[in-house]
Amino acid sequence: MALRDIESLGDLTGRKVLVRSDFNVPLKDGKITDDGRIRAALPTLKALVDAKAKVVVMAHLGRPKGQINPEFSLAPVATRLGELLGKDVVLAKDTVGEDAKKQAASLADGQVLLLENVRFDGRENSKDDAEREALAKEYAQLAEFFVSDGFGVVHRKQASVYDIAKLLPSAAGFLVVKEIESLRRATDNPERPYGVILGGSKVSDKLGVIENLLEKADFLAIGGGMAYTFLAAKGYEVGNSLLETEQIETVKGYMEKAEERGVDLLLPVDTVVAPEFSAGSPATLVDCDQMPTGQMGLDIGPKTAELLGAKIKAAKTVAWNGPMGVFEFAAFSEGTKAVAQALADSECFSVIGGGDSAAAVRTLGFDENKFSHISTGGGASLELLEGKTLPGIAVLED
Ligand code: ADP
Ligand code: MG
């Protein structure tokens, strides 16, 4: 199915366009500590400004839980967005109130207005369809077209994401188009060999991803905390490592399925263990069939990293979700670094999904341009890897 794009909306000169962006940035003492999401929204907003549209942007910040709370005001975002666009961004005093209406009505061509936090209104993410629809109708009165570009929220059935798209002629913005095209290319009919690398903390968070991609992948590599449940399923001692005993039977099922389907299921062969979950805990390298009791596995070892590196080198498509170890602690970040390096060096189509995985690649100092795509949406990218239909995407498809 094809996503409707901005071009499909026709000439937007002088027309009012409502845009949903994802500006849910981290703040510390009222200052934005990472403006990546604002930057990711720029291609769409710049294109609309250049097309001389009147641009009304909606976004959320944090969890104000339906209450007006200055702590969650989009004011810092309006300032930063203005700097990045090189033009003033007006911040409405409310979301769909009098000021929002007044400001939207008096916009000049090519001007940008940001509405206050959509989550100041409890109807935004209400479970009640009628409540959300009522709010969406108020949004719709502010503009003539809707552009959905907040990839981080497209898996949510919310008024500013889903309901509004049914009320106005609507299209996907550049960020959403790029995210969807990249994630689909890395999950549906991928160029082969096709590899999937999964890590992170819990198997139970990734069951849907494993089930979907085990049907498609040529190899499936497991690292991170979830690997120890697989190793335990093989009968290995895993000491105090992360272990989900209630998933052992499920994981055994995955191992059988991989065998039946001829999927190369790669588990770690060596691991870095330490007595405690802390940055300075003394690290020892052991083979996975020799894990001592009383210690926990906090990273994959170099032999495993080398095996993964060789697989990545031979692959044409790789989807990666979940760090290989506790990358937040330097002593346990080598496995994640090695996988990121192998992907950066490879010519394959590489997609990194998952909030912590994307953060890992950035904080470990990799050049983002070395990867084909780093997703901006944690939950949304996971649901795409699970093969789910996302409500905020389905409404933009013909
Ligand atoms: P993503 O957000 O990319 O989907 P997750 O949220 O599933 O990833 O997992 C990320 C977290 O997993 C990181 O905070 C990392 O420290 C943790 N992690 C990775 N390996 C281990 C391990 N061996 N033991 C405990 N935690 C781990
Ligand atoms: Mg996470």
Q: Tens digit of pLDDT for each residue in 228-286?
A: 999 999 999 999 999 999 999 999 999 999 999 999 999 999 999 999 999 999 999 99
Mutate to test the pocket of ligand 1, among 210, 326, 351 (most ligand atoms within 8 A of CB): 326
C-alpha 363 – ligand 2 centre gap (Å): 15
The full DSSP string for 252-266 is HHHHHHHHHHT-EEE
In angstroms, the CA 252 to CA 235 distance is: 11
Q: What letter represents residue 343's amino acid? A: L
Kindly state the DSSP code that residue 90 receives in the 8-state scheme.
E
Task: Give start and end residues of each alpha helix (H) in 117-226.
Answer: 129-140, 164-167, 174-185, 207-213
pLDDT at 62: 96
pLDDT at 282: 97
Number of H helices, E strands in the chain: 14, 17
Among all chains, which residue has been given the structure tokens 């992907």? 343
pLDDT at 318: 98
Q: In what order do the strands lie in the sheet with 264-266?
A: 264-266, 219-222, 194-198, 317-321, 349-353, 373-374
Residue 310 dihedral angles phi and psi, to the nearest 5°: -65, -40
Mutate to test the pocket of ligand 1, among 243, 356, 381, 382 (most ligand atoms within 8 A of CB): 356
Helices 36-50 and 174-185, packing angle to 10 deg: 120
Residue ranges for the chain with pLDDT beneath 70: none
In angstroms, the CA 222 to CA 169 distance is: 43
Q: Taking a C-beta distance cutoff of 8 angstroms, is the pair 287, 270 a contact?
A: yes
pLDDT at 1: 73
